Amino acid sequence: MKKLFLMTLLMSLLPALRMQAAVDPNFYIFLCFGQSNMEGAARPEAEDIASPGPRFLLMPAVDDPQRGRKMGEWCEASAPLCRPNTGLTPADWFGRTMIETLPKNIRVGVIHVAIGGIAIQGFLPDSIKNYVKTAPGWMKPMLAAYDDNPYERLIILAKKAQKDGVIKGVLMHQGETNTGDPRWAGMVQQVYDNMLGDLQLKPEEVPLLVGEVVQANGEGVCIGCNKQINDLPKTLHTSHVISSTGCTNGPDKLHFDAAGYRELGRRYGEKMLSLLGYQVRSPFTVPAHAVTAETTIPGNDFPKVDSEHRAYFRVNAPQASRVQVDICSKKYDMRRDEHGIWCAVTDPLVAGFHYYFINIGGVNVIDPATETFFGCNRQSGGIEIPEGDEGNYYRPQQGVAHGQVRSINYFASSTNEWRHAMVYTPAAYEKGKKRYPVLYLQHGMGEDETGWSRQGRMQHILDNLIAQGDAVPMIVVMESGDIKAPFRGGDNRQGFSNYGASFYKVMVNDLIPYIDANFRTLTDRDHRAMAGLSWGGHQTFDLVLNHMDLFSYMGTFSGAIFGLDLQNAYNGVFTRADEFNKQIHCLFMMSGTEGMDKMFGTKKMVDDLRAMGINAHYYESTGTDHEWLTWRRGLKEFVPYLFKKTK
């Protein structure tokens, strides 16, 4: 009998055990309810509509045939979460924020029931019937979507969800309709207690997060409600208030706009993460070890860079509704605090120099806290992400004699205009009457003659190489090359492009003669070199290979060498390898291993040239793309080849 009893008991427990086994403890479920600001009143934008993936799920509370959603069946979460014709809700970016920080094995699910304009009484089982009877006509269809009992719909779905995961919290945004109602806190507690009881949950394990209403810089329509919201923890000790300070709003001053919902949702998420014991990386929290970037204008604390090469930005723009940082081909949404200060932190960035912009309302502007650099066809913000000691080759060093970078103006008869150039002279130039070889060094598309000395730090690279005996002292000339303006289309094949071609006659007829007449130069071709990065490499090929009587060394760094027919280009010069190798003492080409540089095909071109008998040197910058660290490394490798044959 005893054995039969135990077997009968085990059989009766099996269904429950199977159900328990099906529950995923790493599936965190959150119940979301409230009125119009939880429902979502802003039109979702592209970033809100795209699903963040299968880790953020929605159990719809109503059918949505257009999106293939069925009530009570999990689907990927993306706006709208509430009902088919609702908008962006804080729950959207609550979920996105959660999965950004939680371990990859944890999923987040939300159940979302909200009705615009509903009072808290609409979620109390003992008052819902009377509430429905007296509800305004415009609200009745929304109530009907939940069979006139939104609370019951939420609980039914929550019980179903408990078979899949674990309820970890409740999100509420409600109160506007109950503004000034002294009974509100007590009724909120009733709703919360009912939920816990119906779902057999413990209050210490399921906190209630309650968001403040629209503030609109003190002009929010229901701003008085925030006092009773802030006092709620006095009544309900497991509740936590989510501040709406600085969350932007729509013109009605009652509902948040899309940016406001995103920010409020992030704050819900960050609070829940902290309650779950996770450390949240917030743009408002900067690690103590982060240091002010060396490109920051003195007197400013930001931008900063931490040990993981993340950059931290802060901008004061109290009237802006959306602000982003645009850096390294990625845009980061900045977050606004209560004082109108917008903050952002980036992903880890590659070491070296990077252009960046602050985008305010769709317009790129320069961060007022950073030094400016000419790049991207305009003055731009820039930030230096520091390397370790491996970057000392482009830093000034004690005990090393330093050359000068001079700013010169000269008149070009070829174009009938005054032009500007930068000229580096080695430290020894100021002493004696010695003459020096010359390197003509060009920047890339959209940059100018200051690029190599400011972003590229060529003067420190040359100083250090010369001091170490690895490079011959030389003069370096940098000109705009007529490629400051954007490329506006047309043929861009090597040798056929019009972009920057106006510089060719200037170089030959004006710049070289001016430099030879005004500086102590060695004027023969054996003491003259040209190199350039990106489009400057394009110009180098065109100028050197069409004027081999003027140059004997050439180099490209991520050279924009497109459409080059090696058999026929430049009168077939590459097919005459012996002649080429005799005239060009060094052909140097290099590129980075990532992104655009990888697509340029520099390595293949070098291999093809070598197969034709051309003595071509190749260097690769590991882990870098079309950026200044690539070109600094390239210059360091190229310069030691120069003028050694005639030293």
- Which residues carry out catalysis? 36, 252, 255
Distances (CA, A) of 71 to 84, 116, 154: 12, 20, 11
Instruction: Output the DSSP codes for 200-249.
Output: T--GGGS-EEEE----GGGT-TTTTHHHHHHTHHHH-TTEEEEP-TT--B
What is the number of alpha carbons within 13 Å of residue 349 lying toward its C-beta? 29
Distances (CA, A) of 78 to 46, 64, 95, 161: 10, 13, 10, 18
Instruction: List residues bridging with 8 in a β-sheet.
Output: none
Long-range pairs, 501-506, Cβ under 8 A, ≥24: 501/542, 502/415, 503/479, 503/539, 504/539, 504/542, 504/543, 504/546, 505/414, 505/415, 506/412, 506/414, 506/415, 506/419, 506/479, 506/482
How do beta strands 438-442 and 528-533 pair?
parallel
How do beta strands 553-557 and 528-533 pair?
parallel
566 token code pair: 């090696």
Measure the CA–CA gap between 118 and 222, rounded to whole angstroms.
14
Measure the CA–CA gap between 574 and 285, rounded to whole angstroms.
58
Instruction: Output the DSSP codes for 337-351.
Output: -TTSEEEEEPPP--S
Give residue for tokens 């500086």.
519
Closest listed residue to residue 47, CA positions, set 261, 364, 264, 243: 261
Distances (CA, A) of 574 to 319, 496, 501, 545: 60, 17, 22, 10
Map residue 300 onto helix, strand or coil.
coil
Closest listed residue to residue 602, CA positions, set 623, 588, 585: 588
Kindly state the helix (H) or strand (E) to which residue 539 belongs, with its residue range: helix 535-546
356 token code pair: 């960046």
What residues contact 389, with CB distance under 8 A and at least 6 apart? none
Closest listed residue to residue 75, CA positions, set 94, 62, 89, 90: 62
Kindly state the helix (H) or strand (E) to which residue 34 belongs, with its residue range: strand 27-34
- Count of beta carbons in the 10 Å neighbourhood of residue 617: 15
Instruction: List residues bridging with 114 in a β-sheet.
Output: 34
Please state whether 535 falls in left (phi above 0), alpha (psi between -120 and 50) or beta. Answer: alpha
Measure the CA–CA gap between 376 and 398, rounded to whole angstroms.
34
Q: How far apart are the first and last CA of the chain?
A: 107
